[in-house]
Chain A
Amino acid sequence: MRLPFFSKRSKSVHTVRNYEHVLGTSLELQFVSETASSAERAEQVVLAEIERLEAIFNRYRPDSELNRWQATHLQWVDVSPELAFVLSTAEAWRQRSSGAFQPTVEAISEAWRCGEEAPEADFETPLWDVNLATYQAKRITPHPASLNAIAKGFIIDQAAEKAAELDGILTVLVNIGGDLRHVGEGRAPVAITHPHHDSENSEAASKIWISNEGLATSGGYRRGYQVGGQRRSHLIDPTRQEAANGSLSVSVFAPSAMLADVISTTVSVLSKLDTVSLMNESPEVGLSVIYEGLDSFQNSLWQNRSKPQI
């Protein structure tokens, strides 16, 4: 005689799929499903949802909805619910973080990419106004904005949630380039890459689990620009207009991948003091920061779940 738990488990199928060149990085999908065919359906749903949302948010596609909207200025324009939601969340976090989270940071980022010194930018005025009832948005800032630090998390959430709604799907894990979301039964075990030892088979900095949450890591150790021969992090402190060099790696788990994405980017440029006060306002958020010299900080929520390796 089998216990119901085991009979259910014995029937479930675990599927892993890996892709390259999705949103400019890699994609890992995992499903626990009742049948192999339901996992195949879920995989197609995830891929289709990523493509649909990429057409809205991709900064490198001239025809993306974001870029078409950015061609407008100081006028109310109809936008998709997705763009309205992400624009509104981005502006709310810009205000909440006193400009540490800053979508127009790309003005600096683009100058760096060309190897030039950064232009003066006004980071004080609101970037845009969004009406979530009518799905309209008015662009106020003259600077180009990128929603990369928030849209990727949003896309991960949407894709994972859509797949989890399908019949026969018990668990979904969507990991895009190191930011991820778990939806469904059980837990997702996650290894956090060590910023100094980022090979695939290197010892992790720490190990943790999430359940029905998102997790994101920000760090300058894989990307950066050369300005005058000096390598700079791709994470920029908008309030000082310079690279955020205090932290090597910031990992955050939160109720959604979008939140984890925003908070990890924000903490990358915040002082330790500001980080502590931000975390005090965010009771459902786990945080782990590895600073230069490999000092590390973990809030209690993170500590309760993790096995530190360093």
Chain B
Amino acid sequence: MSHSPKPTSLMNSANLTRRSLLTAFGSLVLATVGFGMRKRPAAKWDDKFECIVEVEIAEIPGGRVHRPYVAIWIEDKDGKTVRTLNLWVQTTRRGPRWIPDLRRWYRSEQDRKTAKGGDLVETVSSATRQPGKYAMVWNGKDDQGKLVDQGDYVVCIEAAREHGTYQLIKKSINVGTKAFKQTFDGNVEIKSAGVEFRKRK
């Protein structure tokens, strides 16, 4: 019986030690996190840079071809849409029928209205364009106009064609402060695609 307090006291001292260790470790972790948060906030997109997403529509032998419906957007690494860069859908009354073909876009943007009935929509005059080649710029802002953090993002290029196929390209990019170029493999609808992260002109 006289032994009984010993193990208890040993136990207590062990418990105390463990607790104090945990506490010490905990405060160390907090200190580190706190230090990190104070000293190294996630760096914002460097405003001197821009990201160009290039897409070339697949050519079909025999010349003239309908442009497929294409959506291009940026997701963060958790799959949340950060910025929609481009969306080509029909703007006729028949249009909305085709939006569901762009499956991923439709899921996250169902509420957005795209079709303006009635009058002509804005058209573009430019130096003669190369057939099928389109470039979209991402200036580092999200759909709310706020500059995003540097880090990992996913470029998504979705294409669907009436009586054709549905294709989706998803490629990760890492946005920092260094220019880079990346080429993506194409598919039946998109001949080639790629991104160029570069200093703004």
State the A residues within 8 Å of B (CB). 9, 12-22, 24-28, 30, 32, 36, 39, 47, 171, 173, 175, 177-180, 182, 186-193, 195-202, 204, 207, 215-223, 249, 251
Q: Is A189 touching B94 in the complex (CB atoms < 8 A)?
A: no
In the bound assembly, the distance between CA atoms of A15 and B120 in angstroms comes to 9
Q: Is A193 touching B124 in the complex (CB atoms < 8 A)?
A: yes
Q: Is A189 touching B122 in the complex (CB atoms < 8 A)?
A: yes
Additional A-B contact list (19), CB under 8 Å, known A21-B63, A198-B127, A216-B125 = A14-B116, A16-B91, A20-B66, A21-B131, A22-B63, A30-B120, A171-B120, A177-B131, A180-B123, A192-B126, A193-B124, A193-B127, A196-B201, A199-B136, A199-B137, A200-B135, A217-B125, A217-B127, A249-B127
State whether A178 and B124 are in contact (beta carbons under 8 Å apart), knowing that A199-B135, A201-B85, A222-B129 are contacts in the complex: yes
From DSSP, what is the main secondary structure of chain B's interface residues?
A: loop
Q: List 17 A-B contacts (CB under 8 A).
A: A16-B91, A19-B65, A19-B67, A20-B57, A20-B67, A20-B132, A32-B120, A36-B92, A175-B125, A178-B126, A188-B123, A190-B123, A193-B126, A195-B127, A198-B126, A249-B127, A251-B125
Q: Which residue of A lies closest to B132 (CB)?
A: A20
- Provide the residues of chain B in CB contact with A173, threshold 8 Å: 120, 123
State whether A220 and B127 are in contact (beta carbons under 8 Å apart), knowing that A20-B67, A200-B136, A201-B86 are contacts in the complex: yes
What's the nearest-Cβ distance from chain A to residue B76, in Å? 19
Q: Is B123 touching A175 in the complex (CB atoms < 8 A)?
A: yes
- Provide the residues of chain A in CB contact with B64, threshold 8 Å: 19-22, 27, 47
From DSSP, what is the main secondary structure of chain A's interface residues?
A: strand
Q: Does B117 contact A (CB under 8 A)?
A: yes
- Provide the residues of chain B in CB contact with A197, threshold 8 Å: 137, 201
Q: Which residue of B lies closest to A198 (CB)?
A: B126
In the bound assembly, the distance between CA atoms of A178 and B134 in angstroms comes to 13
Q: Is A18 touching B66 in the complex (CB atoms < 8 A)?
A: yes
- Provide the residues of chain A in CB contact with B125, threshold 8 Å: 175, 178-180, 190-193, 215-217, 251
What's the nearest-Cβ distance from chain B to residue A246, in Å? 15
Q: What 8 pairs across the A-B complex have the smallest Cβ distances?
A: A193-B126, A219-B127, A18-B67, A199-B137, A178-B126, A20-B132, A177-B128, A217-B125
Q: Does B37 contact A (CB under 8 A)?
A: no
- Provide the residues of chain A in CB contact with B94, threshold 8 Å: 36
In the bound assembly, the distance between CA atoms of A35 and B52 in angstroms comes to 39
Q: Is A24 touching B131 in the complex (CB atoms < 8 A)?
A: yes
Q: Is A30 touching B123 in the complex (CB atoms < 8 A)?
A: yes
Q: Does B121 contact A (CB under 8 A)?
A: yes
Q: Is A190 touching B124 in the complex (CB atoms < 8 A)?
A: yes
What's the nearest-Cβ distance from chain A to residue B128, in Å? 4
Within the complex, which residue of B65, B91, B120 is in contact with A20, where a contact is CB–CB below 8 Å? B65
- Provide the residues of chain A in CB contact with B116, threshold 8 Å: 14
What's the nearest-Cβ distance from chain B to residue A101, in Å? 17
Q: Is A16 touching B132 in the complex (CB atoms < 8 A)?
A: no
In the bound assembly, the distance between CA atoms of A28 and B66 in angstroms comes to 10
What's the nearest-Cβ distance from chain A to residue B54, in Å? 9
What's the nearest-Cβ distance from chain B to residue A296, in Å? 15
Q: Does B192 contact A (CB under 8 A)?
A: no
What's the nearest-Cβ distance from chain A to residue B93, in Å? 6
Q: Is A186 touching B135 in the complex (CB atoms < 8 A)?
A: no
- Provide the residues of chain A in CB contact with B91, threshold 8 Å: 14, 16
Digitize B56-77: 1 where CB-to-A-CB distance is under 8 Å, 0 elsewhere.
0101000111110000000000
Q: Does B118 contact A (CB under 8 A)?
A: yes
In the bound assembly, the distance between CA atoms of A178 and B126 in angstroms comes to 5
- Provide the residues of chain A in CB contact with B167, threshold 8 Å: none
Within the complex, which residue of B85, B121, B134, B136 is in contact with A30, where a contact is CB–CB below 8 Å? B121
- Provide the residues of chain B in CB contact with A189, threshold 8 Å: 120-123
